[in-house]
Structure 1
């Protein structure tokens, strides 16, 4: 088992079967191109690998805001639905915390869909707090 950043096309594509469980509208043919585009804006893709297969994936970025200072924001966090309850999510989450600390971040945050009750339980168990409501609109 190892956790690493997906930087090669092969490693990025290896994350697709897991991340599409969270983002089912993604197309494998465009996935690497989309991730590469986002990487130009600071996006990183980390994955926990077991037996040469990604079983948990996190997409994240480091940024700075007036509200939080320097922070690590998690865009995507998902564990393969057939590999859950093996502490993979917890291990990847702890890796993200350490990554944030090592990069002098003062906060770690994410948004989670209101329907994601299991994810909410997980985040609360990781000692995260619900600190705001997220509002959005399609344009």
Structure 2
């Protein structure tokens, strides 16, 4: 029988490293040996990593930051949100998203934002089921010359 899920920020190198198996499912380009350093570099700019822990394993993770801009005021932006494929349909993603909403409110944010790839239809259904709405399109272009 599994222990009750606990949601907590990953602040130690060990906890950050334990988030890699979940995160790599969303970001397959990541390399395990460089993961902690990449997260630490982003943390220097406000990134935080939260996880749903079950029996010592990170079964769902979210990378996020609190910021402000003219369009939205103070907001929480979710960079990464994933539940391990073998742990889906147990409510871990919903718990983590609810925790993020509470964290946003507790830190003075008026809104929570995230982008999701256009091909991630299952994720879109999940976000809508959890009370989120599609509010904009995100455009991108490469600016480097090869």
Query: Structure 2 length normalisation: TM-score?
Result: 0.94
Match of 1:86 in 2: 90
Aligned partner of 1:38 in structure 2 is 42
1:111 CA drift (Å) = 0.2
1:78-108 CA-to-partner distances (Å, cap 9, x unmatched) read 0000000000000000000000000010010
Q: Which runs of 5 or more residues in structure 2 are unaligned? A: none
- CA distance in 1 between counterparts of 2:135 and 2:21 reads 31
In the other structure, the counterpart of 1:55 is 59
- Show CA shifts across 1:50-81 (max 9, x none): 01100000000000010000000000000000
Structure 1: stretches of 5+ with no match in the other structure: none
User: Which residue, out of 95, 98, 101, partners 2:99?
Assistant: 95
Aligned length: 139
Q: 1:138: how far off?
A: 1.5
Larger Rg: 2
Partner in structure 2 of residue 74 of structure 1: 78
Residues of 2 paired with 1:69 and 1:36: CA distance? 26
Aligned mate of 1:18, from 7, 16, 22: 22
